[in-house]
Amino acid sequence: MRIAVTGSIATDHLMTFPGNFTDQLLADRLDRVSLSFLADRLDIRKGGVAANISFGLGLLGLRPVLVGAVGADFEPYRVWLKQHGVDTDSVRVSEELHTARFVCTTDRMQNQIATFYAGAMAEARHIDLGAVLARVGRLGLVMISPDDPEAMVRHTRACRALGIPFAADPSQQLARLTRADVLELVDGARWLFTNEYESALLAERAGLTEAEILRRVGCWITTHGAAGARIRRDGRPPLAVPAVEVAGVVDPTGVGDAFRAGFLAGMAWGVPEKCAAQLGCAVAATALDYVGTQEYRLYRDALVARVRGTYGVGCIAHLVAHLKELT
């Protein structure tokens, strides 16, 4: 099953300030703030939800189609993604705007000053999924992840018109979406992804109960951090999948994207949902061992050991045949 992933593509510029921001804030001068901090560290990391999910799918051998909008500065990032199995030929390159960028400075007390520049992401609303299909052929699924809100709605409508199954992951954009937008994104989704907080927010934004939402989607997958994931379908008992334990969390950023990559890969291979969720949890645990959202690597024996160590051997036979290309 060929998967297209629509959504954000961004870079994160993360700086560290060795002092305290509060030392430079004057209580009687907060109406006119002009501050400058000398950072002693800069990390530039590749990110964006769609790019992160695509990266994980690429590592698992699925060659996903990334669909989003970037600036002319995207080329080194494009090369990186292609090297890791991602088809980037349907990415729109803006002639005027830079790739979306998150700039954040953190002081020694973990206080943060951050700015997000959407940039070229706003042009994602001009992307035509029909043109993507004309280039790559039939798609088995379109994953609609956080993006320009108009683009998210347009891609959902296009999937319905073209008869393509879609998954909905509104997450970070829920606060910006109208009730009509949320209902548009949810109705008919084969899979709906949220974390625990977003589940409640989604219901509030949609003006529906969770039971009513379940009747509108095929399956609702909710991640619960260290508590794992829960899979729900209308009329069936929920399925709880524990998380894979890790000795120490190095960086939690992007772990949800890693879970989605593993789960969608399992679904593309046709394994049972429980097994796909176990794989998702194993990929997520692997991502926790690395700094950055696209720095982790997947190795067959390590993944199988994580699954076996947490869940036993029940799903191993379903997964190993599809992991044989991993070294």
Q: What's the rounded Cα separation, in Å, for the pair 51 and 99?
A: 12
The Cα-based distances of 92 to 67, 68, 72, 79, 102 in angstroms read 8, 6, 10, 15, 20
3-state helix, strand, coil in the chain (%, to 5): 45, 20, 40
The answer to whether 257 is a known catalytic residue is: yes
Radius of gyration of the chain (CA): 20
State both tokens at 155. Answer: 């891609």
In a 13 Å sphere around the CA of 295, the CA atoms on its Cβ side amount to 14
State the Cα angle at 256 between 230 and 261, rounded to 5°: 90
β-pairing verdict for 229-232 and 239-241: antiparallel
Q: Could you say which of 43, 73, 257, 289 is catalytic?
A: 257
Contact partners, residue 3, CB within 8 Å, separation at least 6: 57, 62, 64, 65, 139, 140, 141, 142, 143, 264, 268
- Which residues are 142's β-sheet partners? 4, 166
Distance CA 300, CA 168 (A): 29
Integer Cα distance of 280 and 96 in angstroms: 37
Tell me how far apart the alpha carbons of residues 119 and 99 are, in angstroms, rounded to a whole number: 6
* Token pair recorded at residue 1: 């099953």
Helix (H, G, I), strand (E, B) or coil at 158: helix
Catalytic residue IDs: 257
